[in-house]
Chains A and B, each alone.
Chain A
Amino acid sequence: MAEKPTDPDAAAASQEEIDAEIAQIHRDYESRKATDGEETSARLNFPPYRSSLLRHPTKSLHHADPEEIELHSPAFGHQDVSPLEADLTIQHHGEPIGERIVVTGRVLDGDGRPVANQLIEMWQANAAGRYMHKRDQHPAPLDPNFTGVGRALTGPNGEYTFTTIKPAPYPWKNHHNAWRSAHLHFSMFGTDFTQRIVTQMYFPGDPIFDLDPIYQSITDPKARDRLVAEYDHSVSQHEWNTGYRWDIVLSGSNRTWSEQEEH
């Protein structure tokens, strides 16, 4: 196999070449799924995402039996997070430009238990697809009334709600004319540190899904769907916002596993 370029800014391949690489990996996965099992997360080694080439482990992850510290998570409280931080549209003097949306849902663990009073962080590009970040230099406007960072503590039933602006797709340099599907970055903690996850939430029907190697690094279509919010008209509010619902399921607690082992 030819060496792939590893310069993340080389933008050497065409979209068609990236599409073909993705399709080949997905075909191989589908043909082996029955024997190798279903993949529920994204692949660390996914060559169409060029930045992963030098940044994925080349050896299998090493099995660890979780110890005490891994079976606990840090605690966060109201001294850490103000309720106002869940509204990304009120952080400046003026109103941000764009489609006002509410994203709401629940955080559950893999056994269906709500993850209560836990930190959930969210960050994003603005309505023009530009991040308030010095490394984002693509020629789209910054919005002086939008930073794009939110935080919340989950409620007693694991519920969370962010009010924000719908982000636009944005270009990147993975390959020539590469665009990211519109997304919100999310960061969650569970009750065990082993449940820690950072991911991205997507919007239904995004036309860029098939072209986006980050989204397609999740080889299984059912798993990809789990990152897509649904439009929920009951979350939309009269003359104010459109609404999306996205329920977040973390992995199962390893405490359960330990108890099962002991008994």
Chain B
Amino acid sequence: MARTPGDLTPIPAQTVGPFFGFALPYEGGPDLVDRSHPQAVRLHGTVYDGEGAPVPDALIEIWQPDGEGRIPAEPGSLHRDGHTFTGWGRAAVDAVGHYSFTTVEPGPTAAGAAPFILVTVFARGLMDRLFTRAYLPEHTDALAADPLLASVPEDRRHTLIAARDDDGGLRFDIRFQGQDETVFLSYPNTPQVTGPVD
């Protein structure tokens, strides 16, 4: 039996499973800009499970404004033309759970807003995608005024803020469980079912 007529309840999610690697990743997916772009920055990190082991079969998507805080509306994410910033990228993790994007740092979408990259996580074993935000670390005043960060307990706030590498890159690790469990987000109109939680 399928959906009853007139029913507008959203469909449930299901895991991406183990076999997405031949289907979802694509050439150029992790490269929102070319490495030679003057503002190119690396956003990377490792996905960890509840025992601290790297997750080798996760898929990460990012979605972000451009450097001036504009929301991209141009197509072309799947066949990048080398010029257009589309704001969206997809990267599978490698055998040691590590993902890497080349992008630009997002600008604030409103005056005084704290810029962030929206990060979406998929994996075998993960029944529904998880959302989180990777905030830029240097915007201290904006971070202090950010309503989401202010609503997160102080000891968990750091999981939402990318770390600056010595080489200028942004590091954003993702932990499903454990002491530094990443803060994952829910939105008012977006049903997600956690099952039992602590």
Contacts and interface: CB of A to CB of B under 8 A. Distances in A.
Q: Do A and B come from one complex?
A: yes
Interface of A: 6, 8, 39-46, 49, 51-70, 72-77, 79-81, 108, 110-112, 119, 121, 123, 125, 131-136, 147-149, 151, 183, 185, 187, 193-200, 204, 214-215, 217-219, 222-230, 245-254, 256-257
A248 B65 contact: no
B51 to A, nearest CB: 6
B139 to A, nearest CB: 14
Given A45-B194, A58-B177, A58-B198, A76 B21 contact: no
Contact of B176 (A57, A70, A193, A224): A57
Contacts of B126: 44, 52, 55-56
Given A62-B148, A79-B79, A135-B21, 13 more contacts: A43-B127, A56-B177, A56-B195, A59-B197, A62-B183, A63-B187, A63-B188, A70-B187, A74-B63, A79-B78, A197-B10, A198-B14, A226-B12
Interface in B155-198: 176-177, 181-198
Contact of A204 (B1, B50, B77, B109): B1
Given A54-B125, A57-B194, A70-B187, A42 B78 contact: no
A68 B110 contact: yes
A132 B130 CA distance: 27
Given A43-B127, A194-B187, A108 B8 contact: yes
Nearest to B65: A69
Contact of A60 (B13, B130, B188, B194): B194
Nearest to A67: B109
Nearest to A66: B187
A225 B5 CA distance: 13
Interface residues of B, number: 85
Contacts of A228: 1-2
A249 B77 contact: no
A131 to B, nearest CB: 4
Interface in B116-141: 116, 118, 120, 122-131, 133
Nearest to A151: B78
Contact of B77 (A62, A76, A123): A76
Given A80-B77, A110-B189, A198-B13, A74 B86 contact: yes
Nearest to B152: A62
A44 B128 contact: yes
Kindly name the residue among A6, A40, A195, A222 whose own CB sees the greatest number of chain B CB atoms within 10 A: A40
A195 to B, nearest CB: 7
Contacts of A246: 2
Contacts of A66: 187-188
A254 B106 CA distance: 22
Majority DSSP secondary structure for residues of A touching B: loop
Given A69-B64, A74-B87, A254 B188 contact: yes
B23 interface: yes
Contacts of B197: 45, 57-60
5 contacts: A8-B125, A133-B19, A198-B129, A200-B14, A224-B12
Interface string B54-81: 0100000101110000011111111101
B88 interface: yes
A41 B128 contact: yes
A247 B3 contact: yes
A54 B176 contact: yes
B189 A251 contact: yes
B138 to A, nearest CB: 19
B72 A121 contact: no
Given A41-B13, A57-B181, A185-B16, A67 B190 contact: no
Nearest 7 CB-CB pairings of A with B: A51-B125, A45-B195, A77-B75, A123-B23, A43-B195, A74-B88, A55-B125
B191 A251 contact: yes
Contacts of A250: 10-11
Contacts of B15: 42, 49, 51, 198, 214
A160 to B, nearest CB: 14
B151 A62 contact: yes
Contacts of A59: 181, 183, 197-198
A39 to B, nearest CB: 5
Contacts of B63: 69, 73-74, 193
